[in-house]
Structure 1
Amino acid sequence: MRVLIVGGRSALAQAIAPLLRERYDVLTAGRGGCDVELDLCAHDIQIPNDIDCVVNMAAAFGGDTLQTIDVNVLGLMRLCHASSRANAKHLVHISSIFSDLANDSPFFGAYALSKRHSEDVAQLCGREFRLPVAVLKPSQIYGVGEAFRKHQPFLYTIMDKAERGEDIAIFGSNDPVRNFIHADDMARILSAVIAMKIEGIYRCVNPDNVRYSQVAAAAISAFESESKVRFLTDKPDIPDNGFACDETLFRMVDYRPHVSTMQGMQMEAAHRRLAS
C-alpha cells in the first residue's frame, strides 16, 4: 500500500513516518525536503497516481489569519481535488480537537475556526468525489525531541527546568487542565485507520486530562530533579482547556492511547541523556 504524507516536514510527520514505513510504502510531500514537491497554497496542485491513502498533516497555526485559512481550508480542498484526479482510494485529514471549542473560549481563534471549516470541506469533498475520508481530531500532540517544542513551548519549558534543577513556576492559583496525546500513540492509531480504511470524524484525545502540576511532577521524576513547583498567585490565572474522551475510534482500531504523562517525560529524558 502506498501512502502519501502531506506536510511531510512537520514534527508529527517526522515522528509518525518511521512507524508507517514498517507497514506501507510511504512518500512525503511538502514545500521542501520531501519526496514530492507540493504547496497547498498553489493554484493547481498534483499528487502522484496510484496512491492508496493520502494523509494530510499540513497545517498553519494562526499567526496570519489569511494564510491559516488558505492552508487549512482551501489547501485541503485543493488536496481533495488532486486526490480525486489521481484516483486515491482514501484520505485521512488530521484536524484538531480545538475545532470543538466554543466561540467564546479564550483558546478559540483562527486556527480553531479553520480546523472546524476544514472538517466540513473534507466531508463535502468526500461526498462530491466519492472519496472515502477520515477526519481525526487529536488534542495537543507532543513527542520525543526538539521538533515538537514550537507548538508545545510551555510543556518543553517544564522539561527544560526540570533537567536543569530549576523551580517550575505556574502563573495564578489555578492548576490548569490540559490534554496531551503522544506522537507514538497517534502513529499507531493512524496506522490502523489507514489499514482499515476507516471513514468518518473522530475525536482522538488522551483518555486522561492532566494538570500542569502533574506534568511538572512527571518531568521532575523523569529527570531525577530537585526542582519544586511554585504557583505565582499574584499573576493572572491560566484557564483550563481539557477535553472529554470519546473512545469510539479506539474501539474500532482496538487501540487505546497508553503513553502516560510520566512515560512521555521519561522518553524525553532518555533521549536527552543519549544526545548529551
Structure 2
Amino acid sequence: MRVLIVGATSSLAQALIALLHGQCELLTAGRNGCDIALDLSSRDIQLPAGIDCVVNLAAAFGGKELTDILQAMDVNVLGVMKLCHASAKAGAKHLVHISSIFSDLDSTSPFFGAYSLSKRHSEEVTQFCGRELGLPVAVLKPSQIYGVGPGFRRHQPFLYTIMDKAQSHEDINLFGLNDPLRNFIHAQDVAKLISAAVATKLEGTYRCAHPDNVTYSQIAAAAISAFESKSKVAFLKDKPDIPSNGFACDETLFRLLDYFPHISMTQGMQMEAAHRRRAA
C-alpha cells in the first residue's frame, strides 16, 4: 500500500510515520522537508498518481486576529476541499482526515473559536467532497493530543509547564477553586488508530476522546509522580475559576478498529520523564 501523509512535519505525523515505517510505502507532503512540496493554502494542489490512501494531518490553529481566522479557514476548509479534489484526480482510493473533537463544542463554549469552527466545516467539506467525488473518506476527531518530546509543547503549553515545574521541584499553583476536567489522548494511541483506519479502509466520522477525563490536580499528581518531584500543589482561591472542558468517550471508533487507547495520563507523564532523563 502506498500512503501519502500530508502535514508530515507535525509531531503526530512523526509518531504515525514511525509506526507505519516498514508496513507500507510512505510518501510525505508538507511545506518544508518532505518528499512532496505541498501547501494547502496555495491556489493549486497536485498529487502524484498511484497513491492508495491520503492521510491529512495538516492544520492551522487559528487565533483571535482576523488574519489568524482567515488562515484557519483557508487551510482547514478550502485547503481540505482542494486536497480532496487532488486526491480524487490522482486516483486515491481512500482519504483519512484528522479533525478535532473541539468541532463538537457549542458555539457558546469559552473554548470555541476559529479552530473549532474551521474544523467543523472541514468535516462537512470532507464528507461532501467524498460523496461528490466518489472518494471513500474517514474523519477522526481526537481530543487534545500530547506525546513524548518538545514538539507537542506548542499546542499543549499548560501540560508541559506542569511537567517543567515538577521536573524542577517547583510548586504547582492552580487558579480558582474549581478542579477543571480535560481530555488528553497520547499521540501513540492516535497514531495506532489512524494506522488501523488506513488498513481497514474505514469510512465515516468518529469521535476519538480518551476514555478517561482528568482533572488539573490529577495531571499535577501524575507529573509529580513521574518526575519523583518534591513539588506541592495549591489552588489559588483569589484567582478566577478555570472552566472544565471534558468530553464523553464514544467507543464506536475503538470497537470498529479493535483498538482502545491504553496510555493513561500517568503513563504518558512517565514516558516524557524517561525521555527527558535520556536526553540529559
- Normalised by the size of structure 1, how large is the TM-score? 0.99
Helix, strand or coil at the partner of 1:170: strand
Stretch of structure 1 that moved more, 21-30 or 47-56: 21-30
Q: Which residue of 2 aligns with 1:40?
A: 40
Q: Deviations over 1:177-234 (max 9, x none)?
A: 0000000101111111000000000001100000010011001000000101111111
Show structure 1 runs of 4+ deviating over 6 A: none
1:116 positional shift: 0.3
Please list, as runs of the form range in 1=range in 2, the aligned pairs for 1:65-214 lying within 5 A after superposition: 65-214=69-218
Q: Which residue of 1 aligns with 2:54?
A: 54
Q: Deviations over 1:51-83 (max 9, x none)?
A: 111000000001300000000000000000100
Helix, strand or coil at the partner of 1:65: helix
1:245 positional shift: 0.6
Q: Which residue of 1 aligns with 2:29?
A: 29
Q: Deviations over 1:101-143 (max 9, x none)?
A: 0010000010000000000000000001100000000000000
Distance 1:120 1:212 in 2: 33
Distance 2:244 2:23 in 1: 38
Distance 1:272 1:82 in 2: 41
Aligned residues: 276
Distance 1:138 1:145 in 2: 19
Q: Which residue of 2 aligns with 1:250?
A: 254
Helix, strand or coil at the partner of 1:150: coil
What is the one-letter code of the residue matched to 2:239? K
- Normalised by the size of structure 2, how large is the TM-score? 0.98
Helix, strand or coil at the partner of 1:181: strand
Percent pairwise identity: 73
1:11 positional shift: 1.4
Q: Which residue of 2 aligns with 1:259?
A: 263
Helix, strand or coil at the partner of 1:208: coil
Distance 2:93 2:172 in 1: 48
What is the one-letter code of the residue matched to 1:45? I
Helix, strand or coil at the partner of 1:55: strand
Helix, strand or coil at the partner of 2:241: coil
Gapped regions of structure 2 (runs ≥ 5)? none
1:39 positional shift: 0.7
Gapped regions of structure 1 (runs ≥ 5)? none
What is the one-letter code of the residue matched to 1:130? G
Distance 2:106 2:232 in 1: 35
Helix, strand or coil at the partner of 2:234: strand
Report the aligned-residue RMSD.
Answer: 0.6
Q: Which residue of 1 aligns with 2:241?
A: 237
Stretch of structure 1 that moved more, 144-153 or 37-46: 37-46
Stretch of structure 1 that moved more, 13-22 or 222-231: 13-22
Question: Pick from 264, 273, 278: which aligns with 1:274?
Answer: 278
Distance 1:270 1:123 in 2: 41
